[in-house]
């Protein structure tokens, strides 16, 4: 149970309770005893979900959180039907199958267990949607209060999902980036806010990469492609790859390249990458359908950019039109419904193949971060639907399927 | 790979392609070589999902369906925080964690594999919602067409989810019970319609009870409580218990009692039970929030009633008010969001405890059939939300959590 956090950039260390960001300005993450890590034995069952990798996590699961709320062990789907579209050998990691329908449950579970261990009676987060929902549900399951800070313009549709679990919701007027930073700086609350790039959350989020690499055994994928917003998830995936390499479970030559994808209308990390800059700075955002990843001032943007560069990957952005098309392909060719912010990853794969970054014979894993069933999107129902009379069933069916 | 189906009531057997209902009028189900079944070895991993019980199923998984679409291995959640409310030792089986967010994926997976094996290029279903969505998504994943027949008054919100996966949707004007029966009788189509109580679907649905019983090893729950609509799921659970008993994996004394719950406004099976009748007949339905289980003329109603009676259980119904309360408790005390049709099961547990059917020290498993994230419900957002200024974050937080 390690409380030591470290800056990936300058190497300085702190205790988690001391601060969640380094004095150099960059985000921190947990040290892990990676050198001693081994793939779990069969007796640590897959039903343990992400706690299968407990030895690499800063906290252990307790009995206070019902085991059914355990995230992880999402499938790895080899989606041959999308290979031609993707321009490579595509596998999908549908994180929407986690308990609250998104990848966020992994980090939330770590944050909740840590809070319980320290005797806290509430946890907090700053979020647009998925993370707020996940935090509310897990807090409820663990018997904690949840304090959720959302931008004032968050749609009622999303607030309803969050409110069901009994969270206290604060709609905040003002700059989102500042709100995010300020909650982490609140004197009395250090360690209770499990925001999207904080050490506790990054520790949980990294387990998706442990799973991907274990599911891919004995080989490794050539590339992992994921959407990027705050940079917290990208940081977690990068951290996992570094740990697995340090543990001798992944050869240096086999480390997958990390590709990060943003929506073109709000792409501060891709912009910095395009301009060859060393660090990411805030941009003026435009409108995009990929609302969950529209972060114009990403707190772990530079760390994410570094992750892509150091693994030989890249950061790209895609227009909403490509995202809509990818979303449709996933639903009709793979049977998986995702939110637009997840579909950007597949749109990104297509773009990367077009640019020659990905080859047709390469194994590429795309992380689909969230379920598409939680919100309504513009779907053409009319063209697929006929209203008929009961007497006409046989005739209509024959005509339609001829 | 057995194609023999049998009437649970009169024992007559047929080949599946011959007919899906017995000449005596009752529904059929597959014979299974239950006597030889054993709990799977550890090498048949839990990541195989419901195919873990392949030896007890009429068809095997193929590579044509991406493995990520595999349903099953949903958790079993011991929900102590709800024991007092439930009046017993409560465990939950959140089937909303299946790929399309409901228990229906289990039966759909069997139907799709069977269709693929027989070289069909489409499958069909008659459904209000969850089953139509599941069938559309699985057909898409398997490269099959889906023909989905829905009542003409199905809300657009649900049609949108189904249409995303590219299904052909037929909105049918006319009696739902007749539509259901007629699709099964279509000469050319026998075996392609995987409706809610057909042998293929019941075979898949039974796997939830295999899982519950294996997860409960070495003991067995005293009772299993689930919502009932067509009676297909109840039939599957009953069938699993009979098979496990026949295989010697469950002592006759340990067979859990089956309790089935309906919404009071549409409760034909509970009505027949209350009136001491041997068989279930159609009723005039009222309005209920539990739309997914509002079947006024259940095709496996009598089979479900028999399942409850033969296991020493019962069929009860609950008012919408109790369902709303149970839905709220699940979200706020267990962190699980369910649709109203699932919450009726917990409301039923409470009612059964009140009646003395369940004791405080009994182990009771409640099947939560579907996720609550797919539709909007009436949620009190206002009372849980405050709109504040960024400068007031610290003060508001302190005030709220004092």
DSSP sequence for B94-122: EGGGSTTSBTHHHHHHHHHHHHHHTT-SE
CA distance A211 to A215: 6
B169 vs A386: CB contact, 8 Å cut-off?
yes
The predicted pLDDT at position B226 comes to 98
Q: What number is the average pLDDT over the span B192-220?
A: 94
Strand A89-94 to A363-368 pairing: parallel
Structural class in CATH, domain B73-99+202-368: alpha beta
Is the peptide bond preceding residue B218 cis, with omega within 30 degrees of 0?
yes
Q: Which residues of A touch B172 (CB under 8 A)?
A: 387-390, 393
Least confident of A152-166, A183-197, B192-206: A183-197
Is the peptide bond preceding residue A218 cis, with omega within 30 degrees of 0?
yes
B217 at A interface, C-beta within 8 A: no
Q: Does an H or E element contain A274, and which?
A: helix A268-274
Residues near A52 by Cβ (< 8 Å), separated by ≥ 6?
A40, A44, A45, A46, A72, A73, A210, A211
B138 vs A396: CB contact, 8 Å cut-off?
no
- What are the tokens at B43? 């090498």
A169 vs B397: CB contact, 8 Å cut-off?
no
- Res. A384: pLDDT tops 60: yes
Average pLDDT, chain A: 92
B38 at A interface, C-beta within 8 A: no
Of B181, B203, B211, the closest CA to residue B193 belongs to B181
Q: Are A157 and B376 in contact (CB under 8 A)?
A: yes
Q: Which residues of B touch A171 (CB under 8 A)?
A: 385-388
Q: Are A72 and A50 in contact (CB under 8 A)?
A: yes
Of A75, A69, A373, A371, the closest CA to residue B92 belongs to A69
Among B43, B46, B66, B98, the strongest candidate for a mutation testing the A interface, having the largest count of A CBs within 10 A, is: B66
The predicted pLDDT at position A20 comes to 75
Q: Between A66 and B22, whose confidence is greater?
A: B22
The radius of gyration of chain B's CA atoms, rounded to the nearest angstrom, is 21
Q: Which residues of A touch B400 (CB under 8 A)?
A: 147, 168, 170
DSSP state, residue B212 = H
CA distance A245 to A237: 12
Q: Between B343 and B176, whose confidence is greater?
A: B343
**What is the ipTM metric for this complex?**
0.94
B319-338, pLDDT tens digit by residue? 999 999 999 999 999 999 99
A141 vs B97: CB contact, 8 Å cut-off?
no
Of A28, A94, A106, the closest CA to residue A337 belongs to A94
- Res. A42: pLDDT tops 80: no
Residue in B with minimal Cα distance to A163? B381
Partner-chain residue, chosen from A141, A147, A172, that has the shortest CB–CB distance to B400: A147
Q: CATH assignment of A1-376?
A: 3.40.50.1100
- Band (B246; pLDDT cuts 50, 70, 90): very high
B387 vs A173: CB contact, 8 Å cut-off?
yes
B393 at A interface, C-beta within 8 A: yes
A242-255, pLDDT tens digit by residue? 999 999 999 999 99
- Band (A61; pLDDT cuts 50, 70, 90): confident
A335 vs B389: CB contact, 8 Å cut-off?
no
- Res. B23: pLDDT tops 60: yes
Partner-chain residue, chosen from B76, B100, B328, that has the shortest CB–CB distance to A68: B76
Among B70, B335, B381, the strongest candidate for a mutation testing the A interface, having the largest count of A CBs within 10 A, is: B335
CA distance A3 to B275: 64
What long-range pairs does B148-152 form, CB within 8 A, spacing at least 24?
B148/B124, B149/A393, B149/B124, B149/B125, B149/B179, B149/B183, B150/B126, B151/B176, B151/B179, B152/A387
Q: What number is the average pLDDT over the span B329-354?
A: 97
Residue A91 C-alpha from the chain's centroid: 16
Query: A22-40 burial, b for 16+ CB within 10 Å, e for fewer?
Result: beeebbbbbebebeebeeb
């Amino acid at each position: 149970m390690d409380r030591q956090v470290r800056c990936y950039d300058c190497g300085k260390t702190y205790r988690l309770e001391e601060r969640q960001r380094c004095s150099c300005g960059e985000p921190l993450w947990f040290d892990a005893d990676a050198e001693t890590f081994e793939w779990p034995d069969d007796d640590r069952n897959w039903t343990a979900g992400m706690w299968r990798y407990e030895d690499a996590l800063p906290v252990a699961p307790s009995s206070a959180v019902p085991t059914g709320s355990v995230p992880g062990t999402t499938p790895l789907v080899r989606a041959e039907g999308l290979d031609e579209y993707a321009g490579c050998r595509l596998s999908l990691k549908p994180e929407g199958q986690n308990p609250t329908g998104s990848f966020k449950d992994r980090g939330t579970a770590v944050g909740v267990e840590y809070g319980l261990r320290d005797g806290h009676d509430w946890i907090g987060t700053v979020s647009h949607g998925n993370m707020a929902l996940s935090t509310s549900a897990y807090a409820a399951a663990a018997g904690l209060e949840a304090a959720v800070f959302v931008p004032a313009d968050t749609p009622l549709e999303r607030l309803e999902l969050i409110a069901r679990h009994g969270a206290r919701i604060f709609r905040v007027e003002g700059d989102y980036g500042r709100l995010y930073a300020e909650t982490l700086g609140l004197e009395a609350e250090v360690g209770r806010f499990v925001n999207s790039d904080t050490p506790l959350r990054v520790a949980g989020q990294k387990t998706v990469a442990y799973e991907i690499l274990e599911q891919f055994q004995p080989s490794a994928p050539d590339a992992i492609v994921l959407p990027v917003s705050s940079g917290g998830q990208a940081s977690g995936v990068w951290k996992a790859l570094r740990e697995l390499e340090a543990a001798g479970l992944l050869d240096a030559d086999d480390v997958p390249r990390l590709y990060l994808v943003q929506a073109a209308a709000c792409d501060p990390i891709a912009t910095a990458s395009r301009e060859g800059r060393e660090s990411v700075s805030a941009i003026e955002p435009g409108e995009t359908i990929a609302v969950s990843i529209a972060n114009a001032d990403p707190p772990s943007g530079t760390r994410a950019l570094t992750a892509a560069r150091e693994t030989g990957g890249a950061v790209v952005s895609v227009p909403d039109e490509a995202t809509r098309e990818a979303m449709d392909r996933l639903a009709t060719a793979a049977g998986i419904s995702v939110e637009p912010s997840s579909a950007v990853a597949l749109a990104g794969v297509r773009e990367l193949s077009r640019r020659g970054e990905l080859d047709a014979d390469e194994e590429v894993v795309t992380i689909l971060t969230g379920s598409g069933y939680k919100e309504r999107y513009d779907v053409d129902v009319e063209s697929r639907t006929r209203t008929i009379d009961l007497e006409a069933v046989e005739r209509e069916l024959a005509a339609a399927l001829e």
